[in-house]
Amino acid sequence: MIKKITDIFKEKNRTFSFEFFPPKTPQGVENLYKTVEELSELGPDFVSVTYGAGGSTRGTTMDICLEIQKRFDLTVMHHLTCVGHSQTELKAILDRMKANNIRNVLALRGDPPKGAEKWKPAPDGFEFCYQLNDFICDNYKDFFSIGVAGFPEGHIHCPDKETDTKYLKIKIEHGGEFVITQLFFDNAIYSEYLERLRNTGINVRIIPGILPITNYEGLLKFCNICGATITREVHDIFKPLNGDDEAISKAGIEFAVKQCRDLLGRGAPGLHFFTLNKVEPAREIWKRLGL
């Protein structure tokens, strides 16, 4: 059933969702559909498909969203960034989403393309996410539910957490209706973030993004890029297991289950799992949480 995520919020206090990325090959895309099919049996409230930083996979985000909607009758959210796009291009993408009844968009500015050090908007494009939010609201009124990204530890290029909070507030005031966070491993960071946002008058849902750890070195690399802190506890558990994929996955499930239980206990309005296009460990975590 095609729904706006904000309509799902009216029915549910908490949502549980999965995130996928567009594979590079046709075989990869077919494998993804098998993954989505298996995870769809768990009954997620919605699933989302990321938008490539540039290059080959960008066009496939929409195709994958449409296919998931058609094959599995799931509510989908299309991620969309401003990277390299003029307003005309963004409008063409959003028009196609609207024509195909994709009603949810995670509006993002995106990162500079590979090789480029600094962010530079495309000619006639946008510099910040809040401008994309304005564009969506101005052109499509309330057709779309608009989600935005949140950074519990502050965005890596933002000078401090207070400024980051101020910018998030602007994104919300310009149409953002809920937030999905960057990964984090210390739930105290999430609680402090929530308190900071509430004190600033941000009252939308802040859904924690959860990464089940499956690879220690990959985690080091990713967190180095996105600026998320790897806690001492995470290093202590996963570093000694480096190279033993099975042991890492098992420990990753244990860690994520503990983290998710605690987050739900702290009142988190749901969980958004970064699946990395794998059925496990997301399914096992889901089952162990009794979702």
Q: Which residues of the shown chain bind ligand FAD in the complex (CB under 6 A)?
A: 50-51, 53, 79, 81, 106, 108-111, 128-130, 149, 155, 157-158, 164, 167, 170-171, 180, 182, 209
Helix 58-72 and helix 26-40, axial crossing angle in degrees, nearest 10: 40
CB of 130 to ligand FAD, least distance (A): 6
Rg of the Cα atoms in the chain: 18
Question: Which residues are CB-neighbours of 76 under 8 A, at least 6 positions away?
Answer: 46, 47, 48, 49, 65, 68, 69, 102, 104
Q: What is the chain's length?
A: 291
Identified catalytic residue from 19, 67, 89, 127:
19
- Contact at 8 Å (CB) between 184 and 156? no
**Least CB distance to ligand FAD at residue 5 (A):** 13
DSSP 8-class letter at 201: T
Complex with ligand FAD: residue 213 or 228, whichever CB lies closer: 228
**Min dist. Cβ of residue 242 to ligand FAD (A):** 26
Q: Within 10 A of 63 (CB to CB), how many other CB atoms are there?
A: 12
Residue 131 or 251 having the CB closest to ligand FAD: 131
- Confirm whether 117 is a catalytic residue: no
Whose Cβ is closer to ligand FAD: residue 180's or residue 248's? 180
Q: How far is CA 257 from the centre of its chain?
A: 19
Q: How far is the CB of 173 from ligand FAD (least distance, A)?
A: 10
Nearer to ligand FAD, 1 or 225 (CB): 225
- Catalytic machinery residues: 19
